[in-house]
C-alpha cells in the first residue's frame, strides 16, 4: 500500500525556518517524481515545488522561489522541503504527492498533510 | 505566467444531472491539463490527466475534453458522492498552476 507521511510542520515566527519531511513507503520511491502542494485554511490548492526522480529537474512557484528548497534522498525514501524566510502567507497545510508514471508532474498519491502556521 | 480560470465557481445540481465544469488557460498548454476532486475534509484525488485520460479506478461517469485553450470536466450523471471541489491544473511547464476551484453540491 502506498503511504506518504509528512512531518515537520508547526508554529514558527515570521522570518523563521522549517524543514518538512515526507516519508514514502509501499512503492519504489526512486522511480517517481514528487510534488509539494499547499492549501491555506479554507482556500484552494497551490502548487509549491516539483522534483523529478533523479533531482535533475526542480521547479518552484514564484511565491516561494529563493526561499524554499526541495530535495530528496532516494536511499532513505524521503522528500524534503526546506522553508526559510517564512511569511504569514505561507500558513497552510503542506502535502507531498507522488507523480503518475505516465504524467510525472501530475500528483497521484497524496499524504495527509502537515500544518505550517507562521505567526508571531 | 499562464493563468488558469474555472467556471462556474460553484454549482448546485440534482442527482442524475449532467454537470460540466470549464477550465480556461490564458495561453496554449497543449493537453497538459489534469483534474482533481477534493471532498470535504479529504485530500485531493486525481481524476483525469492529459486532458482526457481517466486515472485508474475513477468512475466512467467522469470525462474530460479539450477545445483550444478551454478544457471541460463532465460528470455524466451526478451522484451524491460527487459533492466536492474540483480543480484543474496545468503542467506543460512550471509553474504548475491550479485553477481556483469549482464547488459542486446537490440541489
The reply to whether residue A103 touches residue B89, judged by beta carbons under 8 angstroms, is: no
Cα angle B50, B101, A104; round to 5: 30
Write out pLDDT tens, residues B18-67.
999 999 999 999 999 999 999 999 999 999 999 999 999 999 999 999 99
The reply to whether residue B91 touches residue A113, judged by beta carbons under 8 angstroms, is: no
Could you say which residues from 82 to 101 on chain A have a Cβ atom under 8 Å away from some Cβ of chain B?
95, 100
Nearest to B42 by CA among B107, B89, B97, B86: B86
In the numeric block, which cell numbers belong to residue B30? 497543449
The CA distance from B85 to the nearest CA of chain A, in Å, is 9
Average pLDDT, whole number, for chain B?
A: 98
Chain B residues lying within 8 Å of A95, measured CB to CB: 43-44
The pLDDT value given to residue B20: 98
Average pLDDT, whole number, for chain A?
A: 98
In the numeric block, which cell numbers belong to residue B95? 509553474
Residue of B nearest to A63 (CA): B95
Find out whether A2 and A27 touch, Cβ atoms under 8 Å.
Answer: yes
| Total residue count of chain A as it appears in this document | 120
* Mean pLDDT of the B9-15 span: 98
The reply to whether residue B50 touches residue A103, judged by beta carbons under 8 angstroms, is: yes
Chain B residues lying within 8 Å of A50, measured CB to CB: 94, 96
In the numeric block, which cell numbers belong to residue A40? 491555506
* Mean pLDDT of the B78-84 span: 98
The reply to whether residue B49 touches residue A102, judged by beta carbons under 8 angstroms, is: yes
Write out pLDDT tens, residues A53-67.
999 999 999 999 999
Amino acid at each position: 500500500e502506498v503511504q506518504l507521511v509528512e512531518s515537520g510542520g508547526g508554529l514558527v515566527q515570521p522570518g523563521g525556518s522549517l524543514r518538512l519531511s515526507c516519508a514514502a513507503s509501499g512503492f519504489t520511491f526512486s522511480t517517481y517524481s514528487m510534488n509539494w502542494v499547499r492549501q491555506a485554511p479554507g482556500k484552494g490548492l497551490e502548487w509549491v515545488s516539483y522534483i523529478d526522480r533523479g533531482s535533475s529537474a526542480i521547479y518552484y512557484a514564484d511565491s516561494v522561489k529563493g526561499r524554499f528548497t526541495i530535495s530528496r534522498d532516494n536511499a532513505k525514501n524521503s522528500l524534503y522541503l526546506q522553508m526559510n524566510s517564512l511569511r504569514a502567507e505561507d500558513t497552510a497545510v503542506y502535502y507531498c504527492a507522488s507523480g503518475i508514471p505516465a504524467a510525472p508532474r501530475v500528483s497521484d498519491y497524496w499524504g495527509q498533510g502537515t500544518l505550517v502556521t507562521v505567526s508571531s | 505566467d499562464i493563468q488558469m480560470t474555472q467556471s462556474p465557481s460553484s454549482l448546485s445540481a440534482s442527482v442524475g444531472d449532467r454537470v460540466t465544469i470549464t477550465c480556461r488557460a490564458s495561453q496554449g498548454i497543449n493537453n497538459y491539463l489534469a483534474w482533481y476532486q477534493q471532498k470535504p475534509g479529504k485530500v485531493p484525488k486525481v481524476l483525469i490527466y492529459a486532458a482526457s485520460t481517466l486515472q485508474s479506478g475513477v468512475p466512467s461517469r467522469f470525462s474530460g475534453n479539450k477545445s483550444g485553450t478551454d478544457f471541460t470536466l463532465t460528470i455524466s450523471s451526478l451522484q451524491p458522492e460527487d459533492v466536492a471541489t474540483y480543480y484543474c491544473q496545468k503542467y506543460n511547464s512550471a509553474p504548475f498552476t491550479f485553477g481556483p476551484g469549482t464547488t459542486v453540491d446537490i440541489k
